[in-house]
């Protein structure tokens, strides 16, 4: 078929028109594309540059230096030491078993260490560095560095680790740190990202745990360049974190060391408190443990030894342990009776050795009785019958109220875990908790610190400090944080007659200084340092009628766990009180024989600021005291007086 010139001309016009339309569409598309490219490259350049940068650069957290802990004189108690460690990147190391076997040629690793390291490596991303060994010596790290070509993916690093230079002396106060566990994270609603860092350590016990947020500090960052799969290419820059706050405690390290050494092998607790401002100068619990073992990773054998020890070395007996206060509670009963006006200081009570109430005999510790005794003599000789009599007259509710006024039955606010509140029971307490009415026998038992009454060594130290000062002093453990003094709570005057308090102080002075006093054997002969104290013995078992008939067994003839607890409280010097001391020896027997000698030595160490001079002791005891002090494992310290000193 042949096209005519007219057909050809018409077809050309159609093609030209289509071409123009197609060209216009192409021009329009290119224009839109150009505008879009301009918008992205010019108007949104910063946004896309940031997105590209985020794909290429990662931020990683840097752990800060943990805050240091010092004693009241600036002696370091918790420090950070250089820690050489080995890290492995699985992606670069290849076969994990082979890599660990190579490392074991240069770094000592047990089978348990190898297995633990393997589990840690496999649970992390392949490009994340994992610490498999730390606390290495310089020689070990240097050997790994020298052999680096044969150890792909293995890198030696330098970090920081917690150390406790005074070890067992402050274990129950400072506590220790340890790696963050899943349980730790579960307790936090919004955990600090720092806690996600492998092997990051936080406070697990003691001040380390209670002041964790202040001590931890804030994280630093480093910018690293990574490839598409997250492998680190290089480090671009870093910003160091902010170190944690330094904490200064009220404790005196020299006194603390002396207290722990003096408690020796006993299962015991002791507290020394400044009666003016409440500063805790010493808190010792025995036996103790080495907190450094927990930081490094305590072995199963070491941990089992601690948990299976019947003396409970992991427990802080000074604040967690609660005990029947025994006769140290008699000051509370006497003050309640004096303030209520049911007795006068000169009034006497006849003690035949027991009283009968409700068909039951309540015995005095002295089988033959004390005869007629007044307030001072009742404290001096610790007559139980005197307190049975006045307690029945004043009633348990007023005794319990007085106990709380003196700091018993109250949880004191200091940064230590599991601080016990003890128990100052009354009628309402028994009705609410036991579903039974209070009976007169409960009152008689409570009057001498037995029955339901419970107190910790810290609480009875507070009680003693309040009796000595006449003020509601509260215990304080933290002196300053980052140099900022932590103000002590204002100590208001007790709502107790000064005259009543003075009668109690006179009775306590008689305990330690009169020949018939229960603590006369542990008196101080330096007139300027004389103690005023009170012995206490609390039963942990019932004495049967058969035992009394044939003669009560002596404590030393009983198994350890059935012996009485021994207690002693004191303040000194008597004329111008500066310190209060409490000592509890678990199953120690008599307060006068087990607890009072320890308390006397501790009080004198606090007052003199150094090992007490022999001249403070009765002449017939000086040889024994000299031998005792010679064998104590004391640290070498410069004398740091916490009270008055004498030449």
Nearest to 371 by CA among 390, 352, 344: 352
Contact 292, 275 (CB under 8 A): no
Phi, psi of 478 (to 5 degrees): -100, 120
In 515-564, beta strands by DSSP E: 532-538
Neighbouring C-beta atoms of residue 47, cutoff 10 Å: 10
CA-based nearest residue to 328, from 535, 597, 595: 535
Q: From 473, 478, 477, select the one nearest 490 (Cα to Cα).
A: 473
Residues contacting 27, CB < 8 A, separation 6+: none
Instruction: Point out the catalytic residue in the list 161, 285, 288, 327.
Output: 327
CB 419 within 8 A of CB 352: no
- Residues contacting 26, CB < 8 A, separation 6+: none
- For residue 592, indicate whether it is catalytic: no
Provide the greatest CA pair distance for the chain.
Answer: 154
Query: CB of 274 within 8 A of CB of 504?
Result: no
Q: How far is CA 430 from CA 103, 325, 456, in A?
A: 65, 19, 20
Burial tier of 165 (Cβ tally within 10 Å: 0-12, 13-18, 19+): middle
Torsion of CA 500, 506, 511, 517, to 10 degrees: -110
Backbone angles phi, psi at 436, to 5 degrees: -140, 160
Whole-angstrom distance, CA of residue 531 vs CA of residue 511: 9
Q: Can you give the three-state secondary structure of 112-131, one letter per residue?
A: HHHHHHHHHHHHCCCCCCEE
Which helix (H) or strand (E) segment holds residue 224: the answer is: strand 220-226
Q: Identify the sign of the CA torsion 455, 459, 465, 466.
A: negative
Please give the full DSSP string across 358-427, using - where no structure is assigned. Answer: TTEEEE-SSTT--EEE-HHHHHHTT-HHHHHHHHHHH-HHHHHHHHHHTTTT-----SSTT----B---H
CA 384/CA 72 separation, integer angstroms = 41
Q: Residues with catalytic annotation?
A: 327
């Amino acid at each position: 078929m042949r096209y005519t010139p007219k057909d050809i001309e018409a077809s050309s016009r159609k093609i030209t028109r289509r071409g123009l339309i197609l060209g216009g569409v192409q021009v329009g598309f290119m224009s839109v594309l150009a505008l879009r490219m301009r918008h992205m490259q010019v108007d949104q350049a910063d946004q896309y540059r940031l997105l590209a940068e985020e794909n290429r650069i990662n931020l990683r957290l840097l752990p800060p230096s943990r805050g240091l802990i010092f004693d009241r004189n600036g002696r370091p108690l918790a420090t950070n030491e250089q820690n050489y460690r080995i890290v492995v990147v699985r992606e670069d190391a290849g076969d994990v078993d082979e890599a660990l076997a190579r490392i074991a040629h240069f770094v000592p690793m047990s089978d348990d260490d190898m297995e633990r390291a393997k589990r840690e490596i496999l649970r992390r991303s392949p490009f994340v560095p994992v610490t498999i060994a730390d606390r290495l010596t310089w020689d070990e790290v240097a050997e790994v560095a020298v052999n680096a070509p044969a150890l792909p993916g293995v890198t030696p690093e330098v970090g920081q680790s917690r150390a406790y230079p005074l070890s067992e002396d402050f274990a129950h106060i400072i506590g220790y740190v340890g790696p963050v566990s899943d349980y730790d994270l579960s307790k936090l609603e919004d955990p600090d990202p720092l806690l996600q860092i492998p092997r990051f350590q936080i406070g697990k016990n003691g001040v380390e745990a209670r002041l964790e947020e202040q001590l931890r500090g804030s994280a630093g960052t480093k910018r690293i360049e990574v490839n598409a799969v997250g492998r680190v290419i290089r480090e671009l820059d870093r910003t160091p974190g902010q170190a944690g706050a330094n904490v200064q405690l009220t404790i005196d390290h020299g006194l603390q060391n002396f207290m722990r050494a003096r408690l020796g092998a006993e299962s015991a607790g002791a507290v020394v408190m400044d009666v003016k401002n409440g500063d805790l100068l010493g808190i010792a619990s025995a036996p103790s443990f080495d907190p450094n073992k927990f930081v490094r990773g305590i072995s199963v054998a070491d941990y089992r030894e601690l948990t299976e020890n019947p003396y409970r070395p992991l427990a802080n007996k000074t604040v967690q342990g609660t005990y029947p206060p025994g006769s140290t509670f008699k000051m509370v009963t006497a003050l309640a009776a004096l303030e209520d006006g049911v007795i006068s200081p000169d009034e006497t009570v006849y003690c035949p050795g027991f009283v009968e109430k409700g068909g039951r005999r309540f015995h005095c510790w002295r089988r033959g009785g004390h005869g007629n005794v007044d307030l001072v003599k009742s404290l001096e000789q610790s007559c139980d019958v005197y307190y049975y009599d006045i307690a029945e007259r004043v009633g348990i509710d007023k005794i319990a109220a007085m106990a709380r006024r003196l700091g018993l039955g109250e949880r004191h606010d200091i940064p230590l875990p599991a601080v016990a509140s003890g128990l100052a029971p009354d009628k309402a307490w028994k009705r609410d908790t036991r579903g039974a009415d209070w009976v007169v026998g409960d009152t008689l038992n409570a009057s001498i610190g037995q029955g339901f009454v419970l107190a910790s060594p810290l609480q009875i130290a507070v009680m003693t400090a309040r009796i000595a000062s006449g003020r509601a002093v509260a215990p304080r453990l933290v002196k300053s944080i980052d140099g900022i003094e932590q103000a002590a709570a204002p100590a208001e005057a007790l709502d107790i007659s000064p005259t009543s308090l003075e009668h109690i102080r006179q009775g306590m002075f008689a305990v330690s200084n009169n020949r018939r006093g229960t603590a006369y054997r542990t008196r101080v002969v330096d007139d300027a340092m004389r103690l005023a104290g009170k012995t206490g013995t609390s039963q942990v078992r019932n004495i049967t009628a058969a035992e009394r008939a044939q003669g009560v067994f002596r404590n030393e003839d009983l198994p350890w766990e059935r012996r009485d607890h021994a207690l002693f409280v004191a303040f000194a010097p008597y004329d111008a009180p500066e310190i209060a001391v409490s000592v509890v020896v678990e199953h120690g027997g008599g307060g006068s024989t087990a607890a009072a000698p320890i308390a006397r030595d501790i009080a004198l160490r606090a007052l003199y600021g150094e090992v007490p001079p022999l001249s403070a002791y009765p002449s017939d005891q000086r040889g024994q005291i000299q031998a005792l002090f010679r064998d104590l494992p004391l640290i070498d310290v410069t004398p740091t007086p916490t009270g008055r000193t004498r030449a």
